Amino acid sequence: MNLRRRQLLKEWGLTSPSLLWLCFFFLLPTLIIFAISFKPSDPLGGVGDGWTLQTILALRNPNYPEIIGRTLWMSALTTVITLVLSVPIAYHIARSKPWKRDLMLLLTVVPFWTSFLIRIFAWKAVLHPDGLLKKALVFCQLISPESLLLYRPGTVLMVMIYTELPFAILPLYAAVEKFDFGLIDAAMDLGAGKLRAYLSIFIPGIRNGLLSACLMVLIPCIGSYVIPDVVGGIDSMMIGNVIAQRTFVDRNLPHASALAAVMTIVMFLPLLYFLKGKKQEDGTATPAREVV
């Protein structure tokens, strides 16, 4: 009994620093989002006293369904395109010679380490009306000199794919590397066509990697804010931009909070589904693990 208690005390000693920190600075603030959604705003830009349903009712803003719809649509589209591009890339990297494989992995990881803001800014410079790409396209007569490359929904989509690709390639690579390619040979020896063998053996074989990559891309996309803000225009606003606008421009914190609560709910559904699947077989890749 005494030994058990000492054991428990040791476990708590090691667990409590991070557990308490995360409860205090992560769990509690997340719960606070929901609480403040029922608070009125005050004219000084803080949170008023008392409780109200006004903030929640203000979410019936006629622009919101469109913005939420766009956020989900853009995120889904980014995820699908990113995954379709990443599967053959992960496949190629995993099946290359060791030195080539290490080089390509390093080249994939480096953007993960470089500043997100700088990479987006680099695109802004490339697509700028006086920039190189515009000049080249006009020169080849592919676009007219008046057309804009920046501030369009397509631009936002492209830059989102650009920033998310490494997050999909790395978990997929981890999955492809573990896949036993003898199974493909076996399927083909048994008379399956190449396409059939890949679709019904390879794709289910890397299912966990696909799921993990999907989550790694989809969730940050739903929360996008900087990309639509820097390279997007008024017709590419996403929920993240509205949250920032309510926080910094209108200084209506309860309203921003209610929107964040909506985003949390939207985001937790795929996450819960994933965590449930994850518990059964541990060891799915997170980008952090791949990088280190």
Partner 1 sequence: MIKKSKIPGILTWLVLLFFYLPILLLVVNSFNASRTGGNWGGFTLKWYAQLFTAREIWNALINSLLVAFFATLISTLLGTTAAIALHRYKGKLQNMHYCLVYVPLVVPEILLGISLLLFFVALQVELGLPTMIMAHVTFCVSYVAMAVLARLQDFDQALLEASRDLGANTWYTTRKVLLPIIFPGIVAGGLLAFTLSIDDFVISFFVAGPGSTTLPIQIYSMIRRGSMPLINALSSILLAVTFLIILVIQWISKNQEKKEKT
Contact between 111 and partner 1 per CB under 8 A:
yes
Q: How far is the CB of 123 from partner 1 (least distance, A)?
A: 5
- Is 257 in contact with 33 (CB distance < 8 Å)? yes
Among 83, 93, 150, 206, binds partner 1 (CB under 8 A): 93
Contact between 104 and partner 1 per CB under 8 A:
yes
Contact between 145 and partner 1 per CB under 8 A:
no
Among 67, 72, 77, 85, binds partner 1 (CB under 8 A): 85
Distances (CA, A) of 5 to 1, 19, 31, 62, 251: 6, 19, 32, 59, 51
Selected range binding partner 1 among 140-148, 149-157, 203-211, 259-267, rule: CB under 8 A: 259-267
Distances (CA, A) of 55 to 102, 169, 226: 52, 41, 25
Among 131, 153, 233, 277, binds partner 1 (CB under 8 A): 131
Among 11, 66, 180, 235, binds partner 1 (CB under 8 A): 11
| Residue written as token pair 């496949």 | 91
The SS3 assignment for 47 reads strand
Among 52, 56, 92, 178, binds partner 1 (CB under 8 A): 92
Cα 80 versus chain centre, distance? 12
- Is 11 in contact with 219 (CB distance < 8 Å)? no
CB nearer to partner 1: pick between 5 and 62: 5
CB nearer to partner 1: pick between 18 and 141: 18
CB nearer to partner 1: pick between 78 and 257: 257
| Beta-carbon count within 10 A of 38 CB | 17
Contact between 58 and partner 1 per CB under 8 A:
no
Contact between 271 and partner 1 per CB under 8 A:
yes
Q: How far is the CB of 21 from partner 1 (least distance, A)?
A: 6
Contact between 138 and partner 1 per CB under 8 A:
no
CB nearer to partner 1: pick between 54 and 247: 247
Spatial distance between the Cα atoms of 173 and 180, rounded to a whole number of angstroms: 13
- Is 23 in contact with 36 (CB distance < 8 Å)? no
Selected range binding partner 1 among 54-62, 141-149, 180-188, 203-211, rule: CB under 8 A: 180-188
- Is 73 in contact with 158 (CB distance < 8 Å)? no
CB nearer to partner 1: pick between 77 and 138: 138
Which residues ranging from 193 to 252 are in contact with partner 1 (CB under 8 A)?
Answer: 194, 215-216, 219-220, 222-226, 230, 240, 243-244, 247
Among 52, 54, 245, 286, binds partner 1 (CB under 8 A): 286
- Is 75 in contact with 218 (CB distance < 8 Å)? yes
Spatial distance between the Cα atoms of 129 and 150, rounded to a whole number of angstroms: 8
Among 154, 186, 203, 289, binds partner 1 (CB under 8 A): 289
Spatial distance between the Cα atoms of 202 and 179, rounded to a whole number of angstroms: 8
Residue 18, Cβ density class (10 Å: 0-12 exposed, 13-18 middle, ≥19 buried):
exposed
Spatial distance between the Cα atoms of 235 and 121, rounded to a whole number of angstroms: 20
The number of residues that bind partner 1 (CB under 8 A) is 92
Q: How far is the CB of 208 from partner 1 (least distance, A)?
A: 15
